[in-house]
Amino acid sequence: MNRREFLGKLLPKQNSSLGNSRVSKPESFDSENSPTEEQKLQINTATCLAWNDVVCSSCADVCHARAIEFLGLFRPVINEKCDNCNECISSCFKGAINVC
C-alpha cells in the first residue's frame, strides 16, 4: 500500500466534483511572481506541518507534475519533475515552500 492509498483510508472522501481540476496546471500563470527556470523551490522543514509529524499533503495534492514526494509518510521533498509552476506555494497555508 503506497502513501496515497494509506492516507485515503484515514482521511474523509473529497468532493468528487473537484476531479482532476486539482491537478491541472493553473490557467492564470503569473510569470512575474513565479520562479525562473534556474530557481528551485524548497520546503522549510521547520515550518512544514508534515515534517513535524502532522498529516498534510496540500502541496502534493495540487502538484500536476507529481513533483512532491514523501519520504515515508511525513517528509515531503520536491524532486526534479518540478517545472516551477508555483501552484504549491499558494496551496501551503503555512508558507513553508520557498524559492531558494
| Smaller CB separation from ligand SF4, 19 or 83 | 83
DSSP structural state of residue 72? T
Beta carbon nearer to ligand SF4, 3 or 94: 94
**In the chain, how long is the greatest CA-to-CA distance?**
40
Report 24-43 residues binding ligand SF4 (CB under 6 A): 41, 43
75 binds ligand SF4, rule: CB under 6 A: no
Q: b/e string for 11-46 if b means 16 or more Cβ within 10 A?
A: eeeeeeeeeeeeeeeeeeeeeeeebeeeeebebeee
Smallest gap, in angstroms, from Cβ of residue 16 to ligand SF4? 22
Choose the stretch contacting ligand SF4; rule: CB under 6 A; options: 4-12, 15-23, 52-60.
Answer: 52-60
How many Cβ atoms from other residues are within 10 Å of residue 94's Cβ?
16
Nearer to ligand SF4, 6 or 83 (CB): 83
